[in-house]
Amino acid sequence: MIIPRISLGLLAAILITGCHSTKKITKADTSLSDSLKVHISFLADDRLEGRRTGTPGEELARDYISQAFARIGLLPKGTEWYPQSFQVNEGRQIDSVTEFVINGNRLQTGKEFFPFPFSGDAMIEAMPAIAVQELEMPWFIDLKETLEENQKNPHFDLPDYIRTNSKKAKDRGATAIILYNSSVIEDKLVFDKKDRSPSPGIPVLYVAKEAAKKYFSDSIATLNIKLRSSVSDKMRGGYNVIGYIDNKAPTTVIVGAHYDHLGYGEDGNSRHTSHEAAIHNGADDNASGTAALIELARKLKTSNATANNYLFIAFSGEELGLYGSKYFTDHPTVDLKSVNYMINMDMVGRLSDSNKVLTVGGYGTSPAWGEYYKQFDQMNNGPANPGLIFKYDSSGTGPSDHTSFYRKDIPVLFYFTGLHTDYHKPSDDADKINYNGQAKIVEHIYSLVEWMNARPRLAFTKTRETQTTTSARFSVSMGIMPDYTFTGAGVKADGVSEGKPAQKAGLKAGDIILQIGEYNVSSMESYMQTLGKFKKGDKAKVKYQRGKDVLETTVEF
Ligand SMILES: [Zn+2]
């Protein structure tokens, strides 16, 4: 059972501060943009500390949305009342029991030494000699020679070398590997929490230069060591919030928006340059979409558009890689086969009053969208003009939650008022929201849903795929859409783009890339680094896993 965190006192305090406005338009509009303001003022308040998944701020928002759904009269459709909890795998972490003691001196974990993310869990007490690699003993390996030999080799991948040779050492009888670097060459070795490569089954530790100089300079010495290596997955909980209007209809329309944001920017997805931690209030991203979600629920609750049921989902975990929507589509609380279409709203609060441009993504995922929007092309200058200029993007994928539904062959629409200078910064605040503009967008989406009510179930059409993250581009691409929630070794393809190298080589959605050419692909990072090593026209062998089979093919970039 989830204990609501939000006290009525806190709710009232925040609501009163956010309610003063001076505009002159219809009562309905006024109340709609004022309601939007109330929601955004609450969700973007400092007390919610940027609503980062897995924090009290997220829970305050979760409860606010649950209570709003309850007040509107939506049926709870989560797994625990309105909320649906899920886990986010944050990557590998060094457990506190990890230790390394040499001749009675305890080394500082993380600073003087660290186990690699793929290090095996074990506890060892032994008296090994540094220079001797004995059976059933820990082995010391100085990286000096390897680094010097490969100093001029741009393709040399030290972490990959360590992974491969740890396995070999284990097979030759080592019970642990203790790596150090006595050369002047920088090895840049760090604990990479995203490294998911399989463990060789023995501890693999790295001792930093200072500590190595202190304890390993006499290579014929025998050391009295005690080590314990323990590395595990760091898990974090999150909550989708789900409400339902049951019109006893054969099909269901899903309306969604993510409500999580960046917190203080701890997850490395902030564009805030100052080192000072600051609350990322996320008024536009995506308190605006969440507010629109609540107000669309209110309107549809009293609407005559009852040919569909309506499911409203406030996702969490979006900023970490679409975790909440991916979890929902893998653990749906309604039958996905009965879903007619999905509407996603992410950043709908900053409509420009000058160009009035609203991006409509997913336009190519059903012919019905074209039929609907056709009417506006003629009336843009007419009296029925919705006061919006539509910019269409046909792709069903993009950096937001509709992608998870498109992957399940569900027609989607994605609404977005565009990037701005406050994107992913603490300055994305409630006083910069265009509330009247957003009210127009909510009214527009409502009229689309009403229009669709009279139509038969929508047909789904596949579209081209676009980048699902705003990260860097490379000189070559395989044309796969990575699954960011995959926690195994390698990179799992969530989708494969038509006509791209991967598709031409016969790779499919669900395949796990393990190796490209001579490079092991252990994580998203190593995949991206590996792509950087190829140029157009290059051919490379790709080792991949499909189901239980490990297969091979050749891609041409
Ligand atoms: Zn967003």
Give the percent of the chain with pLDDT over 70: 90
Report whether pLDDT(118) > 80.
yes
Measure 470 CA to ligand 1 centroid, in angstroms: 11
* Domain end point (choices 198, 229, 260): 229
Which of 39-53, 150-164, 327-341, 350-364 has the lowest average pLDDT? Answer: 150-164
- The two tokens of residue 520 are 């092991």
Measure 286 CA to ligand 1 centroid, in angstroms: 5
Measure 262 CA to ligand 1 centroid, in angstroms: 10
Measure 90 CA to ligand 1 centroid, in angstroms: 19
pLDDT at 537: 86
Measure 257 CA to ligand 1 centroid, in angstroms: 8
Measure 467 CA to ligand 1 centroid, in angstroms: 15
Phi and psi at 515, nearest 5°, equal: -155, 140
Measure 87 CA to ligand 1 centroid, in angstroms: 19
Tens digit of pLDDT for each residue in 394-410?
999 888 999 999 999 99
Q: Residue 27: which pLDDT band, with cuts at 50, 70 and 90?
A: low
Measure 274 CA to ligand 1 centroid, in angstroms: 21
Give mean pLDDT, residues 454-464. 92
Measure 289 CA to ligand 1 centroid, in angstroms: 9
Question: Other CB atoms closer than 10 Å to residue 419's CB: what's the count?
Answer: 14
Phi and psi at 205, nearest 5°, equal: -110, 155
| CATH number of the domain enclosing 129 | 3.50.30.30
The answer on 417 and 294 residing in a single domain is yes
Measure 282 CA to ligand 1 centroid, in angstroms: 8
Tens digit of pLDDT for each residue in 149-189?
988 887 788 888 898 899 999 999 999 999 999 999 999 89
Token look-up 């507010």 returns 291
Phi and psi at 139, nearest 5°, equal: -110, 140
462 falls within a domain: no
The answer on 298 and 201 residing in a single domain is no
Give mean pLDDT, residues 97-119. 96
Report whether pLDDT(18) > 50.
no
471 falls within a domain: no
pLDDT at 23: 47
Measure 347 CA to ligand 1 centroid, in angstroms: 6
359 falls within a domain: yes
460 falls within a domain: no
Give mean pLDDT, residues 193-210. 92
Measure 421 CA to ligand 1 centroid, in angstroms: 14
Q: Identify residue 399 by its one-letter amino acid code.
A: P
Decide if 89 contacts 320 (C-beta within 8 A). no
The answer on 71 and 26 residing in a single domain is yes
In whole angstroms, give the CA distance from residue 349 to residue 431.
11
Of 406, 413, 396, 400, give the one whose Cα is nearest residue 451: 413
Report whether pLDDT(28) > 60.
no
Decide if 120 contacts 201 (C-beta within 8 A). yes
Measure 260 CA to ligand 1 centroid, in angstroms: 8
418 Cβ neighbours under 8 A, 6+ residues apart: 347, 350, 352, 357, 359
pLDDT at 524: 74
pLDDT at 386: 67
The answer on 212 and 108 residing in a single domain is yes
286 falls within a domain: yes
Residues 86, 90, 93, 96, Cα dihedral to 10°: -40
Report whether pLDDT(1) > 80.
no
Give the percent of the chain with pLDDT over 90: 67
Domain span at 398: 8-88+235-453
Give 177's strand partners: 139, 204
**Mean of per-residue pLDDT scores for the chain:** 89
The answer on 305 and 439 residing in a single domain is yes
437 falls within a domain: yes
Give mean pLDDT, residues 464-480. 63
Give mean pLDDT, residues 198-215. 95
Q: Residue 474: which pLDDT band, with cuts at 50, 70 and 90?
A: low
15 falls within a domain: yes
Instruction: Detail the DSSP E strand segments found in 378-464.
Output: 389-393, 412-416
Decide if 507 contacts 496 (C-beta within 8 A). yes
Decide if 293 contacts 256 (C-beta within 8 A). yes
Radius of gyration of the chain from its Cα atoms, rounded to whole angstroms: 27
Please, is 188 exposed, middle or buried when counting C-beta atoms within 10 Å of its C-beta (0-12, 13-18, 19+)?
A: exposed
The answer on 369 and 304 residing in a single domain is yes
Give mean pLDDT, residues 520-541. 81
Measure 345 CA to ligand 1 centroid, in angstroms: 9
Q: Residue 475: which pLDDT band, with cuts at 50, 70 and 90?
A: low
The answer on 426 and 344 residing in a single domain is yes
pLDDT at 480: 84
Question: Other CB atoms closer than 10 Å to residue 129's CB: what's the count?
Answer: 14
Measure 346 CA to ligand 1 centroid, in angstroms: 5
* Domain end point (choices 434, 453, 472): 453
Give mean pLDDT, residues 188-209. 91
pLDDT at 487: 67
pLDDT at 19: 44
In whole angstroms, give the CA distance from residue 202 to residue 506.
36
Measure 258 CA to ligand 1 centroid, in angstroms: 7
Q: Residue 29: which pLDDT band, with cuts at 50, 70 and 90?
A: low
Measure 472 CA to ligand 1 centroid, in angstroms: 18
Q: What is the count of structural domains for the chain?
A: 3
Give mean pLDDT, residues 129-153. 92
The answer on 250 and 391 residing in a single domain is yes
189 Cβ neighbours under 8 A, 6+ residues apart: 158, 159, 162, 179, 181, 206
The answer on 208 and 72 residing in a single domain is no
Measure 418 CA to ligand 1 centroid, in angstroms: 11
Residues 434, 440, 442, 446, Cα dihedral to 10°: 180
| CATH number of the domain enclosing 357 | 3.40.630.10
Instruction: Detail the DSSP E strand segments found in 14-144.
Output: 75-76, 83-94, 99-102, 105-106, 113-115, 122-126, 137-142
Measure 142 CA to ligand 1 centroid, in angstroms: 46
Measure 332 CA to ligand 1 centroid, in angstroms: 22
In whole angstroms, give the CA distance from residue 84 to residue 63.
12
Measure 400 CA to ligand 1 centroid, in angstroms: 7
Report whether pLDDT(466) > 80.
no
Tens digit of pLDDT for each residue in 425-436?
999 999 999 999
464 falls within a domain: no
The answer on 413 and 294 residing in a single domain is yes
Q: Indicate if the alpha-carbon torsion angle 32, 34, 35, 41 is positive or negative.
A: positive
In whole angstroms, give the CA distance from residue 499 to residue 110.
45
pLDDT at 50: 98
In whole angstroms, give the CA distance from residue 316 to residue 518.
38
Measure 261 CA to ligand 1 centroid, in angstroms: 7
pLDDT at 485: 67
Phi and psi at 508, nearest 5°, equal: -130, 165
For every residue of 299-350, DSSP letters joined together read HHHT-S--SEEEEEEEE-S-TTTSHHHHHHHHS-SS-GGGEEEEEEESS-S-
pLDDT at 471: 46
Tens digit of pLDDT for each residue in 358-394?
999 999 999 999 998 887 765 555 555 568 999 999 9
The answer on 242 and 220 residing in a single domain is no
pLDDT at 384: 56
Give mean pLDDT, residues 461-469. 68
The answer on 318 and 214 residing in a single domain is no
* Domain end point (choices 177, 212, 229): 229
Measure 349 CA to ligand 1 centroid, in angstroms: 11
Give mean pLDDT, residues 439-449. 96
